[in-house]
Chain A
Amino acid sequence: MAGIPVHEWTLLDAARAIREREVSSRELTRALLERIDRVNPRINAYITVLPEQAMRDAAACDEEIAAGGARGPLHGVPVALKAIFCTKGIRTTCGSRILHDFDPPYDATVTGKIREAGAVLLGKQNMDEFAMGSSTETSWFGPARNPWATDRIPGGSSGGGTDTGGSIRQPASLCGVVGMKPTYGRVSRYGMVAFASSLDQGGPIARTVPDAAAVLGVIAGHDRRDSTSVDVPVPDYLAATGRSVRGMRVGLPREYFADGLDDSVRTAVEKALEALVSLGAESVEISLPHTEYALATYYIIGPAEASSNLARYDGVRYGYRSEGAKGLIEMMSRTRGEGFGAEVKRRIMIGTYALSAGYYEAYYGKAQKVRTLLRRDFQEAFAGVDVILTPTAPTPAFRIGEKVDDPLTMYLSDIYTIPCNLAGIPGISVPCGMSPDGLPIGAQLLGKHFDEEAIFAAAAAIEREIPLPRVAPEEG
């Protein structure tokens, strides 16, 4: 890794270098803090940076290494958490004014696992408010910017990373890195502030596929504090990234490659397919017939659950409270009116409406049935293929401000990532090309429930065959 700046190292390289004492955690952490200092004002990826605490943690890690023990696979490696994960003693804002000064009384399970593995927390990352968005433009802390072109969105809602409708995969695609959403129930949701409970999952955004696999290995696992957490053993995801894809059947759903797909995206994803086929995989045309209804289904179920999950933000026990209200109802209404941004309010309204008396069957009830049909589509498809390949996002990154006032158009950016959340299956986005403007494009691989290994294998193969820069050129 000589000559490669420290901030461009992969996570696994950093972990090895620390273990083998080529570099100390303190050096690595300091270098990254300096970079954040330099770059973050332009990019706004971080809401909270923890310089003193990070250096203290790094020092502790170095002492442990010196004493002969490494706590885990991420020992001494600096990481960041999306501002949606509760971190005790550290501001957890969910990108919202309503939690702008919230100090959680406990750590999320994911937070605990990251710490147990020895990682050093650099800070909390920016996100669309309460994870609702596809551009990180709705954050109360200001939009984050795509490092490849700072006038463009980085995607949303992460940060790094929770995914309810694509919020890990889509930003990964737009920023040229790897993002992975595990099977629903693979990673504990305890302490991960809820947006849509039946869709939310936490997962890694990382530089490379093996990096993402290593992180998933750390955060996955059954948690008794999460009743929806599934008790399935955690396999060696890292090993899976080295698996051959010879004989793997790769499904191409025709509905995802219809007319109107951006040319540069189509070309890039076709290259990804070629890469797999050249290694002995087989391409199979499939159909996911109910795809066109996925967005509408998601935009009922997500907001319905969110309207209920966000009702607790009422100014009583924590968070923002509006001043000067006369009486309780006015206090709550003004708190929420002032504390939430426009997109969150919109979704709360849709969700409340969809659940309200007289509308439940037509909206929520109906959406749950369509969800069954979507899940069936995937079940039937996976009877004949091992993984499914699609674009991650319909276009490369659009300009900041371009879609923020047009919610429906914004929602359409999630069109390829949403079905995966509705079905609860795992999905990963891996860089596979660049647009003529120099903007990254990602390919998405979808797998069967709890078959993260297959999509890691395929994604890693694509990554090896199509090497692409993982760090944006520094702007002048």
Chain B
Amino acid sequence: MAITREEVLHVARLARLALSSDEADRMREQLGDILAYIRQLDRLDTSGVVPTSHAVETGTPYRDDSVHPFGEKEEILKNAPDREDDFFRVPRIIED
């Protein structure tokens, strides 16, 4: 099933994946094959079948509304690639 280079680049942008030109080409081919394989599901008549949206169908469990502070701020920040005091620091958004 053919997928165009434009579609590949669009999906890559949605997924925030920078692809080299070679990668984009390879991806187009491989994705095309995989998507073609996947389309065999079209052969199945699933009208009236309820989708399995959850692996378990019981109701979602709850927690009480009580505060239990994690209390270890440094643990949350310690892996930050860049930080300023207790903030996570990132590059600004640049308008295209």
* 9-residue interface stretch from A49-57, A174-182, A327-335: A327-335
Instruction: Name the prevailing secondary structure of the B interface residues.
Output: loop
Is A448 an interface position by the 8 A CB rule?
A: no
Question: Which chain A residues border B78 with CB–CB below 8 Å?
Answer: 103, 105
Is A184 an interface position by the 8 A CB rule?
A: yes
Is A246 an interface position by the 8 A CB rule?
A: no
Chain A: minimal CB distance from B18 (Å): 3
Partner of A103, one of B41, B53, B60, B79: B79
Question: Which chain A residues border B54 with CB–CB below 8 Å?
Answer: 198, 228
When the two chains form their complex, are residues A373 and B80 in contact, meaning their CB atoms are under 8 A apart?
no
Question: Which chain B residues border A368 with CB–CB below 8 Å?
Answer: 51-53
Partner of A366, one of B41, B72, B75, B82: B41
Tally of contacts, chain A with chain B, CB under 8 A: 169
When the two chains form their complex, are residues B60 and A331 in contact, meaning their CB atoms are under 8 A apart?
no
**Cα of A345 to Cα of B27 in the assembled complex, Å:** 9
When the two chains form their complex, are residues B79 and A349 in contact, meaning their CB atoms are under 8 A apart?
no
When the two chains form their complex, are residues A296 and B41 in contact, meaning their CB atoms are under 8 A apart?
yes
Number of A residues, CB within 8 Å of B: 70
When the two chains form their complex, are residues A336 and B51 in contact, meaning their CB atoms are under 8 A apart?
no
Chain A: minimal CB distance from B45 (Å): 10
When the two chains form their complex, are residues B31 and A328 in contact, meaning their CB atoms are under 8 A apart?
no
Q: Quick one: given A300-B38, A327-B93, are A334 and B31 in contact (CB under 8 Å)?
A: no
Q: Mark A302-333, 1 if CB is under 8 A from B, else 0.
A: 00000100010011111111000111111111
**Cα of A372 to Cα of B17 in the assembled complex, Å:** 32
**Cα of A248 to Cα of B88 in the assembled complex, Å:** 59
Is B66 an interface position by the 8 A CB rule?
A: no
* 9-residue interface stretch from A61-69, A121-129, A266-274, A350-358: A350-358
When the two chains form their complex, are residues A373 and B44 in contact, meaning their CB atoms are under 8 A apart?
yes
Residue of B with least CB distance to A296: B38
Is A363 an interface position by the 8 A CB rule?
A: yes
When the two chains form their complex, are residues A314 and B16 in contact, meaning their CB atoms are under 8 A apart?
yes
When the two chains form their complex, are residues A227 and B49 in contact, meaning their CB atoms are under 8 A apart?
no
**Cα of A227 to Cα of B15 in the assembled complex, Å:** 27
When the two chains form their complex, are residues B51 and A365 in contact, meaning their CB atoms are under 8 A apart?
yes
Question: Which chain B residues border A369 with CB–CB below 8 Å?
Answer: 46, 49-52
Chain B: minimal CB distance from A399 (Å): 21
**Cα of A320 to Cα of B40 in the assembled complex, Å:** 38
Question: Which chain A residues border B46 with CB–CB below 8 Å?
Answer: 366, 369-370, 373
Q: Mark B75-92, 1 if CB is under 8 A from A, else 0.
A: 110111110000010111
**Cα of A297 to Cα of B38 in the assembled complex, Å:** 7
Question: Which chain B residues border A256 with CB–CB below 8 Å?
Answer: none
Question: Which chain B residues border A190 with CB–CB below 8 Å?
Answer: none
When the two chains form their complex, are residues A325 and B91 in contact, meaning their CB atoms are under 8 A apart?
yes
Chain B: minimal CB distance from A248 (Å): 27
Chain A: minimal CB distance from B59 (Å): 10
**Cα of A315 to Cα of B72 in the assembled complex, Å:** 21
Q: Mark A431-453, 1 if CB is under 8 A from B, else 0.
A: 00000000000000000000000
**Cα of A365 to Cα of B14 in the assembled complex, Å:** 20
**Cα of A362 to Cα of B35 in the assembled complex, Å:** 11
Besides A346-B34, A353-B11, 14 other CB < 8 A contacts? A184-B56, A198-B55, A224-B61, A293-B44, A297-B41, A315-B90, A318-B79, A327-B91, A331-B90, A333-B12, A333-B16, A333-B17, A368-B52, A369-B51
